[in-house]
Amino acid sequence: MPTTIQIKPDFSWSAIDTILLDMDGTLLDKYFDDYFWEEYVPRIFAEQNRMTPEQARKELLKRYQAVESTLQWTDLDYWSEQLGLDIPELKCKVDHLIQVHPFVIDFLQFARKIGKKVHLVTNAHSKTLEIKMRKTALGEWFDRIVCAEEVGEAKEHPAFWDKLEGILNYDRKRTLLADDTAKVLRSAKAYQMVFLIFVARPSSRLPVRYSPEFPSIVTFDELIF
């Protein structure tokens, strides 16, 4: 369970060669995703299926939970087919809500300055990635961007990290991963990745909730040292 007590990051950058960064909730404000899937899509789905927004929301949350932690959960083509909606088009209609978290750019500048390899590693579908990179212009900061669909596994599964290592050729003992999902960090830990950071405020609309297991940050200026 999340806690109000912070385990602060305690490591030396000299021990790290590679930085792996999640996207949604880690670099970008997860409010966009929460609003989109929990409010906006249910409202449109309700209008098309003669349901109340609350009926639609309950129905969709049940469908979401059935494929959580799988590649289907983030597959926009899957949801377009399942719901009879153009999900990428709907995302573009509310893309003004896509926001970069505070101090992310400062941290990416810092990482480049100290000579680290920086990769974006996300469960997000390639169509989601395209929308968000176009909106934020973050893509230029990464040596490589890898979506889970390329790997063939979701990040919640330890096999993901073995396959990712084959793609990026990093040393798991000298790699730092920052993510806002404890299950993802646990899978990386099972794979024996050493430096794991939990992002404790993925959405600007929700309170800070530190991890009892992993060193936590609220914003990325806490890693500039």
pLDDT for 2 beyond 90: no
Give percent of the chain with pLDDT exceeding 90.
Answer: 97
107 shares its domain with 195: yes
| Domain extent for 142 | 13-30+99-223
70 shares its domain with 106: no
Q: Is residue 5 part of a domain?
A: no
132 shares its domain with 174: yes
Residues of the chain by 3-state class (helix, strand, coil), percent to 5: 50, 15, 35
Query: Distance between CA atoms of 171 and 165, rounded to whole angstroms?
Result: 8
Q: In what order do the strands lie in the sheet with 195-199?
A: 144-147, 117-122, 18-21, 175-179, 195-199, 216-217
pLDDT for 51 beyond 90: yes
Residue-wise pLDDT tens digits, 182-225: 999 999 999 999 999 999 999 999 999 999 999 999 999 999 99
**Residues in the chain, overall count:** 225
* Cβ atoms 92, 85 nearer than 8 A: no
**pLDDT of the residue at 155:** 97
Residue-wise pLDDT tens digits, 68-124: 989 999 999 999 999 999 999 999 999 999 999 999 999 999 999 999 999 999 999
Query: Distance between CA atoms of 179 and 217, rounded to whole angstroms?
Result: 10
Domain count, the chain: 2
pLDDT for 181 beyond 80: yes
Q: Identify the domain boundary among 67, 96, 125.
A: 96
pTM (two decimals): 0.95
